[in-house]
Chains A and B, each alone.
Chain A
């Protein structure tokens, strides 16, 4: 019981981090119509910039400034690199972001080295927030969830309840019409891309300190975030939320299961199968999101709430 409760709590916390990343990615997808493979690299940049700024400015300023800087970088990226490519179709854009991801990873290695950098939350965020079933819940995890909820509530309010949001939503579905009505859709796209980048960087500032800040962090979390977005349905924020929470909780809960496969499946005589039966469910936890994605693509290519086929 305690284990279940703690695992749920851990899973939801992880889910919020995934969602912060997935929200930006799915937003940018609605805009570009293709996956931004460099999205997780912007997450990594956020972590590194945050780490670099924490030294001179302290964590608070770093957490505010890093997303702004990376967000502006995202705007520039959209304006001068992605927009010219747009005319050449989706494949060019897709390949571009793919290459960009490698470029960012290698640049990060050149600037900050190939190992992990020393980057932790300040002492103010150490310690425990409350006790759940005898296990303290660290303050920094509460901070992580708080920032995720706040920033996403802000995003929701912006998109759903403001005039700017109205133009953005209209521009995403009917760009030509919006342009003819006198709005500068190019600029709208640029700011949306920047916003998505800033969200990724914000997740990075927090995720980097909570987990580890190293050059492989983009590839490691990036793949999971794609899974979240595909399962949730491309372009759907609600879908991304459900998928992020679901995957976070599922992965954490599976780790808690000690059963071996052979205890679940009927005995199969073949020695190869018997060897597989030795595997524990907890050992399978790392691969479940990918298995889920494959199953989802086969059964329902749109994902949970998606408008288009993946």
Chain B
């Protein structure tokens, strides 16, 4: 329905530098400098800001513990554009930054992984690591896996396995409608849902599959009319940011009475958009659990909420990234990316909500997942409201990491140690 906005080639804006170089610990081993790329403008700005703020909270917490290794993060605006992300990558490497994180959508991350692989081939001794905390296209740890890429978030299939396992137990689910963004991540969610739904319960029918342009649909009413006409009782969607908010808003306007199983239903305005109408209906699979915060998560959550009372942490990707990197640097006794990479392989640690493992074979994080439903705050099962509402998410099921651990298909090429 629309054409893309013209692309500009302005230099990326360096938004914040969290230089916390309080040297002094006897065992100081140096600083892990991370260039964090996020969409800090455009339709997915709130998502980028959310990540940047969560990472900041996680890094502050880590640095305050004074373990020797410090983190220093520079945030860049990748503007949701692959070209812009590559420009920033070049800039960051010229500045000597050797850890690159984030980027935005899978399309951008895909380009960044290629760029890192090529760069490392041409610059032995100056290798760069790519830290993936949100792009959950399974290919990145399967057919396109790379030694220089680590993913700190369960990917599409792992989340879908958790989701479908749970949906299979809900006998009210009969007709499922899939609506997703028309790009690689959305396609993966669609394919994954079809594959695992029928495997989990053969009597579930997929009554519709929809792909819509990413970030450009402003009125989802036509799509909602279709979902309604298809007679669906359940919608599965990987949509995030405005694509989820506007979908839910249109569904509410049209009084569409279905369950929404989402990947990002706890994020960036979706709870506000749905409000009371979403109680019992808006569900999600997530890595974050606000009702049962371990001490480290409590510190991070509190410092985040103190600064941004209206926002919420919605996933643990950046938190696991900081924890595992810190442990790996300590184990390697170095902040050199290549040595840290070897130390990361197979590393197990106490993650955000239970033990996590960075699988050596494909660099995919194995972590527990939660299935949650939107519900009123009651002080017990729902302790905290979200986005300033008196509504939050209660956990219906905790899926241990072994239940979602995917088959390894990666043929990893490792450099000489």
| Chain A residues proximal to chain B, CB less than 8 Å | 2-3, 6-7, 10-11, 13-14, 109, 114-116, 128, 134-136, 138, 210-212, 214-217, 219-221, 223-224, 251-252, 255-256, 258, 280, 282-283, 285-286, 289-290
Would you call B253 an interface residue if the criterion is a C-beta within 8 Å of the partner chain's C-beta atoms?
A: yes
Given A10-B219, A212-B242, A286-B216: A3 and B2 interface contact (C-beta under 8 Å): no
Q: Which residues of B contact A258 (CB under 8 A)?
A: 208, 226
Given A220-B216, A286-B213: A109 and B2 interface contact (C-beta under 8 Å): no
Given A114-B40, A219-B3, A220-B2: A136 and B221 interface contact (C-beta under 8 Å): no
Please state if A135 and B255 are interface contacts (CB–CB under 8 Å).
yes
Please state if B213 and A212 are interface contacts (CB–CB under 8 Å).
no
| Chain B residues proximal to chain A, CB less than 8 Å | 1-6, 40-43, 45-46, 49, 182, 208, 210-211, 213, 216, 218-219, 221-223, 225-226, 228-229, 242, 246, 253-255
CB-nearest residue of chain A to B225 = A6
Please state if B45 and A114 are interface contacts (CB–CB under 8 Å).
yes
Please state if A14 and B219 are interface contacts (CB–CB under 8 Å).
yes
What is the bound-complex CA distance between A289 and B2, given in angstroms?
9
Please state if A114 and B2 are interface contacts (CB–CB under 8 Å).
no
CB-nearest residue of chain A to B210 = A282
Q: Which residues of A contact B210 (CB under 8 A)?
A: 282
What is the bound-complex CA distance between A217 and B216, given in angstroms?
10
Q: How far is the CB of A298 from chain B (nearest CB, A)?
A: 19
Partner of A136, one of B182, B213, B222, B255: B255
Please state if A224 and B1 are interface contacts (CB–CB under 8 Å).
yes
Partner of B225, one of A14, A109, A135: A135
Q: Which residues of B contact A252 (CB under 8 A)?
A: 221-222
Q: Which residues of B contact A289 (CB under 8 A)?
A: 1
Q: What are 7 of the A-B contact pairs (CB < 8 Å)? A: A114-B42, A215-B41, A219-B6, A220-B1, A252-B221, A256-B222, A283-B182
Taking A116-B43, A256-B222 as known contacts, 18 extra A-B pairs with beta carbons closer than 8 A to each other, sorted by chain A number, are A3-B229, A10-B219, A10-B221, A10-B225, A114-B40, A115-B49, A136-B253, A136-B255, A138-B253, A220-B5, A223-B3, A251-B1, A252-B221, A255-B226, A256-B225, A256-B229, A286-B213, A290-B3
Please state if B255 and A10 are interface contacts (CB–CB under 8 Å).
no
Q: How far is the CB of B163 from chain A (nearest CB, A)?
A: 24
Please state if B225 and A7 are interface contacts (CB–CB under 8 Å).
yes
Q: Which residues of A contact B42 (CB under 8 A)?
A: 114-115, 216
Q: How far is the CB of B209 from chain A (nearest CB, A)?
A: 8
What is the bound-complex CA distance between A290 and B3, given in angstroms?
9
Please state if B2 and A115 are interface contacts (CB–CB under 8 Å).
no
Q: Which residues of B contact A215 (CB under 8 A)?
A: 41
CB-nearest residue of chain B to A139 = B253
Q: How far is the CB of A264 from chain B (nearest CB, A)?
A: 18
Given A3-B226, A3-B229: A109 and B41 interface contact (C-beta under 8 Å): yes
Please state if A10 and B1 are interface contacts (CB–CB under 8 Å).
no
Q: How far is the CB of A241 from chain B (nearest CB, A)?
A: 19
Q: Which residues of B contact A14 (CB under 8 A)?
A: 219
What is the bound-complex CA distance between A49 and B210, given in angstroms?
36
Please state if A128 and B222 are interface contacts (CB–CB under 8 Å).
no
Q: Which residues of A contact B218 (CB under 8 A)?
A: 211-212, 217, 220
CB-nearest residue of chain A to B249 = A120
Q: How far is the CB of B348 from chain A (nearest CB, A)?
A: 38
Q: Which residues of B contact A220 (CB under 8 A)?
A: 1-3, 5, 216, 218
What is the bound-complex CA distance between A289 and B225, given in angstroms?
21
List the 10 shortest-distance A-B pairs measured between CB atoms, nearest first.
A114-B41, A115-B45, A211-B218, A3-B229, A220-B2, A6-B225, A255-B222, A219-B5, A286-B1, A223-B3
Q: How far is the CB of A220 from chain B (nearest CB, A)?
A: 4
Q: How far is the CB of B206 from chain A (nearest CB, A)?
A: 12
Q: How far is the CB of A243 from chain B (nearest CB, A)?
A: 15
Q: How far is the CB of A179 from chain B (nearest CB, A)?
A: 39
Q: How far is the CB of B70 from chain A (nearest CB, A)?
A: 30
Q: Which residues of B contact A114 (CB under 8 A)?
A: 40-42, 45
Please state if B46 and A115 are interface contacts (CB–CB under 8 Å).
yes
Q: How far is the CB of A100 from chain B (nearest CB, A)?
A: 14
Please state if A224 and B2 are interface contacts (CB–CB under 8 Å).
yes
Please state if B246 and A212 are interface contacts (CB–CB under 8 Å).
yes
Given A114-B42, A116-B242: A3 and B219 interface contact (C-beta under 8 Å): no
Q: How far is the CB of B73 from chain A (nearest CB, A)?
A: 20
Given A114-B45, A116-B242, A212-B246: A219 and B226 interface contact (C-beta under 8 Å): no
Q: How far is the CB of A199 from chain B (nearest CB, A)?
A: 20
What is the bound-complex CA distance between A283 and B187, given in angstroms?
13
B3, B223, B246 — which one has the most chain A CB atoms within 10 A of its CB? B3
Q: How far is the CB of B228 from chain A (nearest CB, A)?
A: 6
Please state if B45 and A219 are interface contacts (CB–CB under 8 Å).
no
What is the bound-complex CA distance between A210 and B249, given in angstroms?
10
Q: Which residues of A contact B255 (CB under 8 A)?
A: 128, 135-136
What is the bound-complex CA distance between A216 and B2, given in angstroms?
10
CB-nearest residue of chain A to B5 = A219
Please state if B211 and A280 are interface contacts (CB–CB under 8 Å).
yes
Q: Which residues of B contact A282 (CB under 8 A)?
A: 210-211, 226
CB-nearest residue of chain A to B228 = A135
What is the bound-complex CA distance between A136 and B225, given in angstroms?
11
What is the bound-complex CA distance between A251 and B46, given in angstroms?
29
CB-nearest residue of chain A to B255 = A136
Q: Which residues of A contact B6 (CB under 8 A)?
A: 219
What is the bound-complex CA distance between A79 and B41, given in angstroms?
34
What is the bound-complex CA distance between A221 and B216, given in angstroms?
10
What is the bound-complex CA distance between A280 and B179, given in angstroms?
13
Please state if B254 and A135 are interface contacts (CB–CB under 8 Å).
yes
Given A128-B255, A219-B2, A219-B5: A7 and B211 interface contact (C-beta under 8 Å): no
CB-nearest residue of chain B to A109 = B41
CB-nearest residue of chain B to A3 = B229
